[in-house]
Amino acid sequence: MEKSRHIYTVSEITQDIKIILENTFGEVWVEGEISNFRAATSGHFYFTLKDKDAVLSAAMFVRANRQLKFKIEDGLKVICFGKVDIYPPRGQYQLIVESIEPKGVGAQQLAFEQLKNRLLKEGLFDPAHKKPLPLMPFRAGIVTSSAGAAVRDILQILKKGAPCVDVIIRSARVQGEGAALEIAEGVEDFNRFKEVDVIIISRGGGSTEDLWAFNEEVIARAIYNSTIPTISAVGHQINTTLSDLVADVFVETPSAAAKIIVDKKNKLLSELESYKYELISSVTAVIQGLKNNLIALRHMLKSPLDRLLEKQQLLDELSTALLSHIRHCLSIANERALSLIKRLEALSPLAVLSRGYSLSTLVSNGAVVKDAAELKAGDLVKTMLKKGSFLGTVQEVIEDDKR
């Protein structure tokens, strides 16, 4: 027994295990959750993959991890591809990872989420940083492919709805490698060129992959740093791009970006109409107010002639009244005089004479003789008849004439 026993050195047995492991597993896919992640100064990544019951050490060397689009962090559920190996100095087996993909979401999507989070924390989407669009952008800059549908849509709508707007196009590739850089450069160029007052960053619809350039950091930063207001108009239905999140305004289609400008124009035109109307009605009100004042003043300021005429009229009225009053009084007096005359006529002795009576007066004193006793024989008496009179001498006085 003793003779047949084989004694390994530590190195030998480690080497054998290494060969067995390599031959048994070769290259494998391992699913697990990342923990104890550490990026060494050399650039290599070290971490452990774990599940409920076990852990597996893993290393990802710098040549492999350079390709990673997303950031590895603890808690991330991943699928690793690599081979199982032994690390002799520690007597430890480990997975040498060649590539990693996140479990559930695509690597690109994860990279996007991680970048979005980072930029969010940095404040690139901060509403406070967003600039208002100019009241009326008369010069629009468009960063897009000069051959694409987006530029045609925008030009068409502006031509129809706001032909007062000049357009400058900065052509850029909008998909594929290098597109993001070209778009970012376009935004920067407009900021250097200065001749536009809004920048539309645009492309027509496309798949998520087609639109990917608009999710790159370089675009987000160029838009964030733009001193000219920006509109992101990347045709899409589902996802919002980073370009949308950073831009001052975002719309879902190139046409919608052009419509913003057309709407601004139309709103301003109708505002201008109402300003004109307000101006006219204000100035009319001022003039009407003054007119009213004038009328009131004219009432207060009567001319001397008016006053004279007024007095003359009063005088005329009074004199007419006076005259008629006098006439009235006269006619009353007249009537009274006539009735008195009638009464006087009735009482007149002459009326009695007409009936055959006569009136005698004593010639010596003119007294009317009413009593025979007043007479004595020889008195001269004048007797009046209805017609004419005669003188007589009293023959005899008969005092009591019994007839």
Partner 1 sequence: MTKDKQSFEEDIRRLQKIVEELSGGKLSLGDSLKKYEEGIKLAQGCSHALNEAQRKVELLAKKDAKFSLEKFEDEPAEGES
**Does residue 268 interact with partner 1 by CB under 8 A?**
yes
CA atoms within 13 A on the CB side of 375: 25
| Piece of 122-130, 164-172, 346-354, 355-363 that binds partner 1 (CB under 8 A) | 164-172
Measure the CA–CA gap between 142 and 53, rounded to whole angstroms: 57
Measure the CA–CA gap between 162 and 266, rounded to whole angstroms: 9
Give me Rg for the CA atoms of the chain: 68
The residue assigned the tokens 């991330």 is 76
Measure the CA–CA gap between 186 and 62, rounded to whole angstroms: 34
Name the residue nearer to partner 1 (CB basis): 79 or 169. Answer: 169
| Piece of 13-21, 26-34, 283-291, 300-308 that binds partner 1 (CB under 8 A) | 283-291
Which of 39, 77, 134, 362 lies at the binding interface for partner 1 (CB under 8 A)?
Answer: 134
Q: Which residues contact 185 (CB under 8 A, 6 or more apart)?
A: 172, 222
Answer yes or no: are the C-beta atoms of 127 and 133 closer than 8 Å: no
Name the residue nearer to partner 1 (CB basis): 126 or 273. Answer: 273
* Minimum CB distance to partner 1, residue 166 (Å): 5
**Does residue 279 interact with partner 1 by CB under 8 A?**
yes
CA distances from 127 to 33, 120, 163, 192 (A): 36, 11, 31, 24
**Does residue 263 interact with partner 1 by CB under 8 A?**
no
Dihedral sign (CA 252, 210, 156, 247): positive
Measure the CA–CA gap between 391 and 402, rounded to whole angstroms: 26
Which of 39, 68, 168, 372 lies at the binding interface for partner 1 (CB under 8 A)?
Answer: 168
Which H or E element spans position 34?
Answer: strand 27-39
Name the residue nearer to partner 1 (CB basis): 82 or 137. Answer: 137
Measure the CA–CA gap between 287 and 94, rounded to whole angstroms: 96
| Piece of 35-43, 248-256, 263-271, 348-356 that binds partner 1 (CB under 8 A) | 263-271
Rounded to 5 degrees, what are φ and ψ at 391? -100, 140
**Does residue 5 interact with partner 1 by CB under 8 A?**
no
Single out the residue of 49, 220, 201 nearest to residue 119, CA to CA: 220
Measure the CA–CA gap between 218 and 182, rounded to whole angstroms: 10
CA distances from 203 to 108, 128, 165, 219, 244 (A): 20, 26, 20, 14, 12
Q: Which residues of 347-375 are buried (b: 16+ CB within 10 A; e: fewer)?
A: eeeeeebeeeeebbbbeeeeeebeeeeeb
**Does residue 133 interact with partner 1 by CB under 8 A?**
no
The helix/strand/coil state of 216 is: coil
Which of 19, 20, 40, 287 lies at the binding interface for partner 1 (CB under 8 A)?
Answer: 287
**Does residue 166 interact with partner 1 by CB under 8 A?**
yes
**How many residues make contact with partner 1 (CB under 8 A)?**
42
* Binding track over 288-317 against partner 1, x by CB under 8 A: -xx---------------------------
* Minimum CB distance to partner 1, residue 260 (Å): 15
Which of 27, 209, 278, 374 lies at the binding interface for partner 1 (CB under 8 A)?
Answer: 278
* Minimum CB distance to partner 1, residue 246 (Å): 22
Which of 286, 294, 323, 337 lies at the binding interface for partner 1 (CB under 8 A)?
Answer: 286
* Binding track over 187-216 against partner 1, x by CB under 8 A: --xx-xx-----------------------
**Does residue 269 interact with partner 1 by CB under 8 A?**
yes
| Piece of 95-103, 262-270, 342-350, 383-391 that binds partner 1 (CB under 8 A) | 262-270
**Does residue 272 interact with partner 1 by CB under 8 A?**
yes
**Does residue 167 interact with partner 1 by CB under 8 A?**
yes
Which of 65, 84, 170, 219 lies at the binding interface for partner 1 (CB under 8 A)?
Answer: 170
Report the interface residues with partner 1, using CB under 8 A: 134-136, 138-139, 141, 146, 151-152, 155, 158-159, 162-171, 189-190, 192-193, 265, 268-269, 272, 275-276, 278-280, 282-283, 285-287, 289-290
